Amino acid sequence: YNSRMFCTRWNGLEKGSIFDDALDDKEYEGNLIYLLKSGSEFIRNNSKVRFVKEAQYRVDKPDYAERAVTEALVNALIHRDYIVLGSEVHIDMFDDRVEITSPGGMFGGGSIQEYDIYSIRSMRRNPVIADLFHRMKYMERRGSGLRKIVSETEKLPGYTEAYKPEFSSTATDFRVILKNVNYNLEGDAHQVIHQVTHQVIELSTVSKQILAFCTTPKSKKELAVFCGFKDLRNFTLKHINPLLESGQLEMTIPDKPKSRNQKYITVRSE
């Protein structure tokens, strides 16, 4: 129950309206391996890879360490409290950081702020889930996940102590903050040169998916499921309406846009 993950890429450094200030958002529901892979893919698609040219080679500089992301998501999925009704793991991405928040505080009480992550003992709220993740090679048994998040981030080109991951917990949730090592904390504009923005690529890919899928008429629900979206209203605003306005997509019942039998078809170019 409550096996869900909500992912949002916010525009800027703070949360806002999901309709006006979110560059991308996805909702996933299903088995834990599916959530792990979907969350990892969402962060990868909304991250940037920069590079530095050396004399005879190029050094890639990803925003986040892939292993650190995996460890943070595994931690959220195996240690969260699944009893809390209407709860889910949240991934909130900002220009300068990723916040991964899971329901349920520290198992056994207290807060992570009180502990030294290098000497903390392993405590498992969900031992069966932890055992299965270990058997599938997604985690170790020794409670080294938080230390691994730090050590993997330290390996990134351009890392300094200012980008060290942060951990916090309350009685109701646990949060891991991964800092974007390519985000210039002092605002130097040179840091945005040579970046590859996957977000623009992804939005373009969704449009292409829709147009390719609608060579025969498809309903809005069919389109949303095909493209991996749960929020029909947001999916319509961000992806279907722009294609209708540009003339690339059209309704099969244009006189009744809100008809429950409404479908969409790609406009063939002559």
Give 199-248 pLDDT, tens digit per residue.
444 456 788 889 988 999 999 999 988 888 878 888 888 889 989 998 99
Top CATH class, 198-266: mainly alpha
Which strands, in side-by-side order, build the sheet including 48-53?
58-62, 48-53, 196-197
4-194 in CATH: which number? Answer: 3.30.565.60
**Angle at the Cα of 46 (from 40 to 49), degrees rounded to 5?**
100
The pair of structure tokens assigned to 233 is 């209203």
Residue 193 has pLDDT above 50, yes or no: no
User: What are residue 200's phi and psi, to 5 degrees?
Assistant: -60, -40
pLDDT classification of 140: cutoffs 50, 70, 90: low
The rounded distance, in Å, linking the Cα atoms of 240 and 238 is 6
The pair of structure tokens assigned to 55 is 């004399």
pTM exceeds 0.85: no
Q: Is 142 exposed, middle or buried (0-12, 13-18, 19+ CB in 10 A)?
A: exposed
The rounded distance, in Å, linking the Cα atoms of 255 and 130 is 54
Q: Note the pLDDT of residue 43.
A: 96
Report domain extents, the chain: 4-194, 198-266
Strands 173-179 and 166-169: antiparallel
Helix (H) or strand (E) holding 4: strand 4-10
Strands 89-93 and 4-10: parallel
Helix (H) or strand (E) holding 76: helix 66-79
Q: Note the pLDDT of residue 269.
A: 66
Q: Which residue has the higher pLDDT, 118 or 53?
A: 118
Residue 167 has pLDDT above 60, yes or no: yes
Residue 155 CB neighbours (<10 A):
10
Give the pLDDT mean for 36-57.
83
How much of the chain exceeds pLDDT 70, in percent?
A: 87
Q: Is 17 exposed, middle or buried (0-12, 13-18, 19+ CB in 10 A)?
A: exposed
In 3-state terms, what secondary structure has residue 126?
coil
pLDDT classification of 189: cutoffs 50, 70, 90: very low
* Average pLDDT of every residue of the chain: 84
